A and B are shown apart, each in its own frame.
Chain A
Amino acid sequence: MPARLLALRRIGKLFGTNRVLDGVSLDLNEGEVHILAGENGAGKTTLIKILAGIHTDYEGEVEIRGEPARFASPHEANRAGISVIHQELSLIDSMSVMDNIHLGREPALGGLWLDRRGQADQALALCRRLDLDFSAGDLARPVEQFPLSVKNLVEIAKALAFDARILVMDEPTSALNRTEVDRLFTLIGALKRRGCGIIYITHKMEEIYRVADRITVLRDGRWVGTAPAGECPESRLIQWMIGRDLSPHCRPASRAAAGAGNAALEVRGFRVPHPIPGRPPAVSDFSVSLRPGDVVGVAGLQGSGGTELFRGLFGAYGAVCGGSVMIDGKSFRPESPARSIMRGLSYLTADRKGSGLVPAMSVEHNMTLASLCRASPGGVLRPRRERASAARQAAALNIRLASLDQAAGTLSGGNQQKVVLAKWLETQPRILLLEEPTRGVDIGAKSEIYSLMRQWTSAGMAILLISNELPELLLLSDRILALHRGAVTGEFSRGEATPERILAAAMGSPEGTGEARA
């Protein structure tokens, strides 16, 4: 019988008058991965924040190794051996990798003088354990110079910099590619063998069954059930999470309805220069043709140029891109987001916090932001018109909110994503560029977004889709293009597309290229 590391008993939490947790219990043993699952807004993150010493005002008890504990600060929780890797990374971008790893517990001589060499040695040893091939020079570079995936691993290294016995990972893989995920799971295995207990939050079914020992599900702030992973098949888990069965989503295999008319979007030889002059272009050659109602998936690993492609098409870089673009048969030159929106091209970015939502603004104002020119003729706002369209979108997208006037940042992740989607729908786009439309979104909202997409395409919208999740891409796309280092390395119809072939092409392997360009 493994020792119990942690027990949470009857935890409750109120935000104002709003109850977000009600009598939730959870325990964690040595050498165990305990999955915490539930839709967005189920209370997982709040529970974790209580454990991390961020929320100090709660009901119920926390026990660490049988001893009652009540953390007044993240620092106290750290000292008790708890380390939390938050969904939003808590790195300081301008500081070096090494300083970030040691932040808050710098090894210092006499408590004052920073022991730089000791720090460097420790940090190097840690990175080696994580398979991060950092040189001493890399460790001294600021974190902002690394891609998101590396930052994520730095965050984990930071958690391991002191011997945490209880690790909490809140969607650690949301920005990792496949190899990096594998690397993380190997690491989790090693941590388990060393007797660590891990609470793991994820929305990805595949991951749950790869790492789980036990699973606990929350719904609407309440405990629904706990079961060993082997006794909790997928169907039961989903039922626990959403309280109902989920109908499968698949697109009709062939859609004869899509006529031979003008392509909604026709891109030929599109090129996006690298932001630093002299480097090879971020996108060197991209061509695609979308008819109304088409969904074309773009598969690419991290750094393949997918983001740059979308930003370039949307005009976010200005008029620097080469190649030809036609919208509805008329030539279009990407210049600025404002122009693209006017021509019926909208772009949902992957980075909801950074470039999607204005958190301090109300839900309603977020929804109307991109279509304000149309909604306010003469520059004068029309509150009634705005309210009507926001209410319509909130109903159509089934957004759960207290009021349209509440700040958008106070919504849960899935609902925030729907607000951003609503913003783009309000612009009445003919073509929608979707980048990771379901990132950080729970299963229920995910399936809703899928059926919404189907609704939009049957109304004639064309969608270009990027997703890190291959199953999602395969489910939704009529065709899939594989992107590798900024060039298309394979094109697959619905029938030809298999995860293996797409992945091979996206990794630039010759097998993949062999299939290319049917």
Chain B
Amino acid sequence: MNTTRLRLWLATPSFRALLALVFVAAIGCVFNADGAFFHWSTHRDMLRQVSVYGILACGMTLVIISGGIDLSVGSVVGLCAVLFARQTLRQGEAAPAALGLVLAAGTAIGLASGTLVARFRIQPFVATLAMMVFARGLAKWVSAGQKISQAIQHPDGSFTYVDLPPIFQRLDHRILWGNLSVVTLIFLGCVLLCWLVLSKLRCGRYLYATGGNEEAARFSGVPIAGTKLLAYGLSGLFGAVGGICQAVQEQQGDPEAGSTYELTAIAIAVIGGNNLMGGRGGIGLTLLGALTIGYLEKILSINAVGESSRLMLTGAIIVSAVLLQRRRAG
């Protein structure tokens, strides 16, 4: 590789996202909590913990590339978590039917946001903010405001317990001799799906064109409304996947689940170097962003940093990582 090409590569967003990740990993190597950072189990747990956020960030990336934003995904996680718990723990529905229903519900929420944005031309921020509030309400209505767990409370105050259906165990365990969580695998599957959409399919090109210059895309015959519906629909679908993962990990459906997850998902996309203006970015960047955020949280927790300091440090490090990327951009 000659120097010009090297220099060009050094200026790419991927390299800059990698730099941010290495920066955070370096912090981990220094503050390694007596070597805990060097154990595989630390990394495995980090991957498990970041997976739900990462799944949401996949959908967020598609929406951001199309020039929008989706604030509703956190609420979709809550709705889908309680819906999944209700269908499996209360109704005793078979796993495939429950999964199908929940995925459909998440997609429907996404399509509704998409319709508000594409058809009624409401600004994405406003439309999905409304959807965020609405879906949270729906979650509370479905669950009657209670957590749905194995314990069923009867009117006389006594409890009975139902068995956890096998689907919970199947989704929340580790494969490859305990080295990889299934939820992490699901996250990687979502990344793969997004990569296929964005770089192999026509509709992915349309996402970039719509976010890059909507008017020019429209004049070029790009179906703008369909493209936006696709982005928000997939974001809703990924929200549902995240909600199911959340439910199996908590072994219950909490109507408050997923609050503020949308913000973490946006942070992941942005720290990876996706531009909120739309039209540029990629799923690889989001994967790097997820790892960066994941390591950050993990390093702070293995060093037993208190919550107050952890939040402040997270904020500061997000800003420094983004600034670091910009400096490189020259």
B208 touches A365 (CB 8 A): yes
Q: Which residues of A contact B177 (CB under 8 A)?
A: none
The answer to whether the Cβ of A373 comes within 8 Å of any Cβ in the partner chain is: yes
Residue of A nearest to B330 (CB): A16
Alpha-carbon distance A449/B158, docked complex (angstroms):
84
| B200-214 with Cβ < 8 A to chain A | 200-206, 208-209, 212-213
- Min CB distance A441 to B, Å, is 18
Alpha-carbon distance A341/B222, docked complex (angstroms):
11
B280 touches A338 (CB 8 A): no
- Min CB distance B307 to A, Å, is 39
- Min CB distance B198 to A, Å, is 10
A358 touches B202 (CB 8 A): no
- Min CB distance A305 to B, Å, is 19
Q: Mark B85-111, 1 if CB is under 8 A from A, else 0.
A: 000000000000000000000000000
The answer to whether the Cβ of A349 comes within 8 Å of any Cβ in the partner chain is: yes
Residue of B nearest to A18 (CB): B4
Q: Mark B270-302, 1 if CB is under 8 A from A, else 0.
A: 000000000110000000000000000000000
The answer to whether the Cβ of A356 comes within 8 Å of any Cβ in the partner chain is: yes
B212 touches A337 (CB 8 A): no
- Min CB distance A431 to B, Å, is 15
A379 touches B7 (CB 8 A): no
B215 touches A355 (CB 8 A): yes
| B154-210 with Cβ < 8 A to chain A | 199-206, 208-209
B223 touches A338 (CB 8 A): yes
| B202-243 with Cβ < 8 A to chain A | 202-206, 208-209, 212-213, 215-223
Interface class of chain B by DSSP: helix
B220 touches A369 (CB 8 A): yes
A356 touches B216 (CB 8 A): yes
Q: Which residues of A contact B215 (CB under 8 A)?
A: 354-355
Q: Mark B7-47, 1 if CB is under 8 A from A, else 0.
A: 11001000000000000000000000000000000000000
Pick the contact of A361: B200, B203, B209 (CB < 8 A).
B209
- Min CB distance B275 to A, Å, is 8
Q: Which residues of A contact B221 (CB under 8 A)?
A: 336-338, 340-342, 370, 373
A360 touches B201 (CB 8 A): no
B216 touches A365 (CB 8 A): no
Q: Which residues of B contact A17 (CB under 8 A)?
A: 4, 7
Residue with the highest number of chain B CB atoms closer than 10 Å, among A336, A359, A361: A361
Alpha-carbon distance A11/B147, docked complex (angstroms):
70
The answer to whether the Cβ of A164 comes within 8 Å of any Cβ in the partner chain is: no
Alpha-carbon distance A314/B201, docked complex (angstroms):
27
Q: Given A358-B213, A372-B202, A373-B202 in contact, is the A316-B219 Cβ separation under 8 Å? A: yes
- Min CB distance A16 to B, Å, is 7
Q: Which residues of A contact B223 (CB under 8 A)?
A: 338
Q: Mark A331-364, 1 if CB is under 8 A from B, else 0.
A: 0000011101110000101000011111111000
Residue of A nearest to B223 (CB): A338
A358 touches B279 (CB 8 A): yes
Q: Given A16-B330, A355-B216, A359-B213 in contact, is the A369-B222 Cβ separation under 8 Å? A: yes
Pick the contact of A16: B7, B203, B212, B217 (CB < 8 A).
B7
Alpha-carbon distance A356/B215, docked complex (angstroms):
8
Residue of B nearest to A341 (CB): B221
B209 touches A381 (CB 8 A): no
Residue with the highest number of chain A CB atoms closer than 10 Å, among B202, B217, B221: B221
Q: Which residues of B contact A372 (CB under 8 A)?
A: 202, 205-206
Residue with the highest number of chain B CB atoms closer than 10 Å, among A17, A356, A369: A369
A357 touches B280 (CB 8 A): no
Residue of A nearest to B279 (CB): A360
The answer to whether the Cβ of A380 comes within 8 Å of any Cβ in the partner chain is: yes
Alpha-carbon distance A361/B215, docked complex (angstroms):
14
Residue of B nearest to A356 (CB): B216
A381 touches B201 (CB 8 A): yes
A347 touches B219 (CB 8 A): yes
B202 touches A359 (CB 8 A): no
- Min CB distance A302 to B, Å, is 20
The answer to whether the Cβ of A165 comes within 8 Å of any Cβ in the partner chain is: no
Alpha-carbon distance A129/B222, docked complex (angstroms):
46
The answer to whether the Cβ of A376 comes within 8 Å of any Cβ in the partner chain is: yes
Q: Which residues of A contact B11 (CB under 8 A)?
A: 16
Alpha-carbon distance A372/B220, docked complex (angstroms):
9
Alpha-carbon distance A354/B204, docked complex (angstroms):
22
The answer to whether the Cβ of A423 comes within 8 Å of any Cβ in the partner chain is: yes
- Min CB distance B313 to A, Å, is 33
- Min CB distance B68 to A, Å, is 16
Alpha-carbon distance A17/B200, docked complex (angstroms):
32
- Min CB distance A275 to B, Å, is 15
Alpha-carbon distance A241/B199, docked complex (angstroms):
41
B205 touches A365 (CB 8 A): yes
Residue of B nearest to A420 (CB): B216
B220 touches A370 (CB 8 A): yes
- Min CB distance B220 to A, Å, is 4
A361 touches B201 (CB 8 A): no
Residue of B nearest to A339 (CB): B221
- Min CB distance B197 to A, Å, is 10
Alpha-carbon distance A340/B218, docked complex (angstroms):
12
Residue of A nearest to B280 (CB): A360
Q: Which residues of B contact A379 (CB under 8 A)?
A: 201-203
Alpha-carbon distance A361/B216, docked complex (angstroms):
12
Alpha-carbon distance A423/B209, docked complex (angstroms):
13
Alpha-carbon distance A39/B147, docked complex (angstroms):
69
Q: Which 3 A-B pairs have the closest CB atoms?
A: A338-B221, A358-B212, A370-B220
Q: A17-B4, A341-B221, A358-B279 are in contact. List 5 more A-B contacts (CB 8 A).
A: A337-B219, A338-B222, A354-B213, A361-B209, A381-B201
26 contacts between A and B (CB under 8 A): A16-B8, A16-B11, A16-B330, A337-B218, A337-B219, A341-B220, A347-B219, A354-B213, A355-B215, A355-B216, A356-B219, A357-B213, A357-B216, A360-B208, A360-B212, A365-B209, A369-B209, A369-B217, A370-B221, A372-B206, A376-B201, A376-B202, A379-B201, A380-B202, A381-B199, A381-B200
